[in-house]
Amino acid sequence: MRDVVGEATQRRTFAVISHPDAGKSTMTEALALHASAIQQAGAVHGKAGRRGVTSDWMAIERARGISITSAALRFDYRGHVFNLVDTPGHADFSEDTYRVLAAVDCAVMLIDAAKGMEPQTMKLFEVCRHRRIPVITFVNKWDRPGRDALELLDEIEERTGLRPTPITWPIGIPGEFRGVIDRLSGRAIRYERTPGGATRALETELTAEQAQAELGAAWQQASEEAALLSAIGADHDQKAFEAHESTPVLFGAALPNFGVARLLDALAELAPPPAPRPDEDGAVRALDAPFSGLVFKVQANMDRAHRDRIAFVRVCSGRFERGMVLTHAATGRPFATKYAQSVFGQDRTTLDEAYPGDVVGLVNATALRPGDTLYERSPVTFPTIPSFAPEHFAVARVRDSGKSKQFRRGIDQLDAEGVIQVLRSDRRGDQAPVLAAVGPMQFEVVQHRMLAEFGAEISLDRLDYTLARRTDAASAPALDRERGCEVLTRSHDGALLAVFTDRWRMRSVKADQPGLTLEPLIADTTEELR
């Protein structure tokens, strides 16, 4: 049996996050290609025009050119095992991203060199801060005209409060990208496009003299700026990085593969390996304790032919062995793991063993929900992943009443997967549940999947509520009598939610009846997040 702590130390489990269009999919492919995990760029996402995932309901994604689904890609790189956990690109699925971030030890934030900090960049930095996830920043698209490097650093610092510590510095302005200075080693690296393809860039290490001779003024300016950075103390500090006080910054371009290898090296050198995880009482579960894992994503029917449901589990402690019988902490029931897989996009391979940091896809995971804990032998429950506060609400009804059984089954399943939150009340009845979403595109996914997978066409009537607060049984009757307010029960955990048409309504109810319970929904994140 292999040494669990030793295996864990080799793991690097991370996510690539960014504002849409900053290059997340391109970078994911480039990283995978570089590490030779997949043969051909384009196998990763089901994007328009690309080879990719073909399951039915992903038609929505393809049409929109976005990626909603999450999976994990595992590859070896320089003696390390990398687990790249995929995140959805669109802000409407930020709750999924939030759940994925519960499963990683580090995040790579992509910033578009021309656009700098964008709205979703800010939110994601904020989420990382709340989850205390160290962030490596990659300024992407340096091969195209963009902003000044020092100016971008200022903006990162100002908007995130993190101290940027460049570990590479670009030679050449955006659009005239020649290479980088590796500030940790002092080397200069020249980048050249490889003819005919985006598989790998040509990287040549240059001495200072060669750089001076070949890159001239661009080299001169870059080395002066790099010296300036050292003078102001913008140097990498591992402790500050891990404490989420600073962020190492790299410059590159994912499309021509400039700086992708350096990013992999930075992950190997700097990203923290899996650490013992605190349980819901704050006690840590040692890495070499018996197996424990956190479900961070549940997804059904990725492949139409299979018609199954996969729970993605991040291994937190111990060794996972396919076939072992685990306990589902929420119900105390046994869970068989005969069908453990490593899943990425369309590709599935059977997974026989896994260590802390790895992601296991468990097939036939009907009972599992995001946030659930699985363990072997000694019981543990990890803190659940808090739900985002919904801001969009709609009543769902089945169009053909002959399909009400399929309707109920479908709604229950999508609820369990965390695709949408389902709220019910006696007043509305079971035939008319209220669906609550963070972003309206979640409704489209529900509508599409209900028809495609359950054969139940649904109608959705939007309600004009925009915010939700947690309340209790004692406050519910008084709230239900208020105009512009309604109390509903969240199906998956029985929580009572008071939903309001707007902030002013909520505030006036609060002012009139200060004794009522009205609490923000998400505990460890801020309201300003969305």
> Does the footprint of ligand GDP cover residue 141 (CB under 6 A)?
yes
Q: Which stretch binds ligand GDP (CB under 6 A): 136-144, 284-292, 428-436, 458-466?
A: 136-144
Q: How far is Cα 156 from Cα 366, in angstroms, rounded to an integer?
A: 43
> Does the footprint of ligand GDP cover residue 21 (CB under 6 A)?
yes
Which DSSP string do the residues of 218-229 spell out, in sequence order?
Answer: HHHHHHHHHHHH
- Minimum gap (Å) between residue 18 Cβ and ligand GDP: 5
Q: How far is Cα 394 from Cα 237, in angstroms, rounded to an integer?
A: 48
List 9, 20, 463, 530, residue binding ligand GDP (CB under 6 A): 20
> Does the footprint of ligand GDP cover residue 351 (CB under 6 A)?
no
Pick 113 or 287: Cβ nearer ligand GDP:
113
Pick 173 or 434: Cβ nearer ligand GDP:
173
- Strands 246-251 and 202-206, bridge-based pairing: unpaired
CB distance 131 to 145 below 8 Å:
no
List 4, 15, 17, 18, residue binding ligand GDP (CB under 6 A): 18
Pick 31 or 476: Cβ nearer ligand GDP:
31
Pick 141 or 262: Cβ nearer ligand GDP:
141
List 7, 12, 15, 25, residue binding ligand GDP (CB under 6 A): 25
Find the DSSP H helices in 195-300. 208-231, 238-242, 260-270
Pick 89 or 172: Cβ nearer ligand GDP:
89
CB distance 100 to 127 below 8 Å:
no
Phi and psi at residue 229, in whole multiples of 5°?
-60, -40
Beta bridge partners of 313: 295, 360
Q: How far is Cα 262 from Cα 189, in angstroms, rounded to an integer?
A: 10
> Does the footprint of ligand GDP cover residue 143 (CB under 6 A)?
yes
Give the Å distances, CA to CA, from 277 to 18, 241, 351, 373.
26, 19, 23, 12
> Does the footprint of ligand GDP cover residue 253 (CB under 6 A)?
yes
- Minimum gap (Å) between residue 96 Cβ and ligand GDP: 15
Q: Which stretch binds ligand GDP (CB under 6 A): 249-257, 393-401, 447-455, 479-487?
A: 249-257
Smallest CA-to-CA distance from 358 within 413, 410, 287 is with 287
Q: Which stretch binds ligand GDP (CB under 6 A): 217-225, 247-255, 293-301, 487-495?
A: 247-255
What number of chain residues touch ligand GDP (CB under 6 A)? 16
Q: Which stretch binds ligand GDP (CB under 6 A): 13-21, 35-43, 207-215, 444-452?
A: 13-21
> Does the footprint of ligand GDP cover residue 83 (CB under 6 A)?
no
Give the Å distances, CA to CA, from 297 to 48, 74, 419, 473.
24, 16, 10, 31
Two structure tokens written together for 60: 């929505």
| Residues in touch with ligand GDP (CB under 6 A) | 18, 20-26, 89, 140-141, 143-144, 253-255
